[in-house]
């Protein structure tokens, strides 16, 4: 388990772009994380997406999965990011969106590491509302020094 205070210490993201509210479980042996994003009507993107029928943008579901993946990576490797290191997307494959995510939903972010090689991590991510699949994708991420 990891609460919002611990997440803020690990991820550089801040409002309105921090998209993980709580880590429910990290299983190091299975290289898996389950995290939570509470979706509220107060999200800034709902004002324009869409005013009469608010729906969480798919790209933000993918970003939430990537943030959960970053937390998993840091935990598996036993590291914390410093101010000179950034965790970047390197690729997204097979992204599929299966149901809309609306205000009031709790998005469960379920991510497993598929492969770690040469500083590139490949993840399988699934975003669920209850037991229903909302989005899924294979994500590739890497860490780079920026200074």
Among 13, 32, 49, 99, the active-site one is: 49
**Block residue for tokens 């898996």:** 32
On the CB side of 8, how many CA atoms lie within 13 Å of its CA?
A: 6
Q: What secondary structure does DSSP assign to 21-57, as a single string? A: -EEEEEETTTTEEEEEEE--TT-GGGGTS-TTS----
* SS3 at position 74: helix
Q: Catalytic: 5?
A: no
Active site residues: 49
């Amino acid at each position: 388990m990891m609460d919002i205070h611990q997440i803020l210490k690990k991820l550089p993201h801040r409002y309105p772009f921090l998209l993980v509210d709580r880590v429910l479980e990290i299983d190091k042996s299975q290289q898996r994380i389950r995290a939570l994003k509470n979706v509220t009507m107060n999200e800034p993107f709902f004002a324009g997406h869409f005013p009469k029928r608010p729906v969480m943008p798919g790209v933000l579901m993918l970003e939430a999965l990537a943030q959960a993946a970053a937390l998993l990576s840091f935990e598996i490797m036993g590291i914390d990011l410093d101010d000179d290191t950034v965790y970047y997307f390197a690729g997204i494959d097979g992204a599929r969106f299966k149901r809309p995510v609306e205000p009031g939903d709790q998005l469960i972010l379920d991510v497993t590491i598929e492969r770690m090689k040469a500083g590139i991590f490949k993840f399988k991510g699934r975003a669920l509302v209850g037991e229903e699949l909302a989005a899924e994708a294979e994500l590739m991420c890497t860490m780079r020094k920026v200074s």
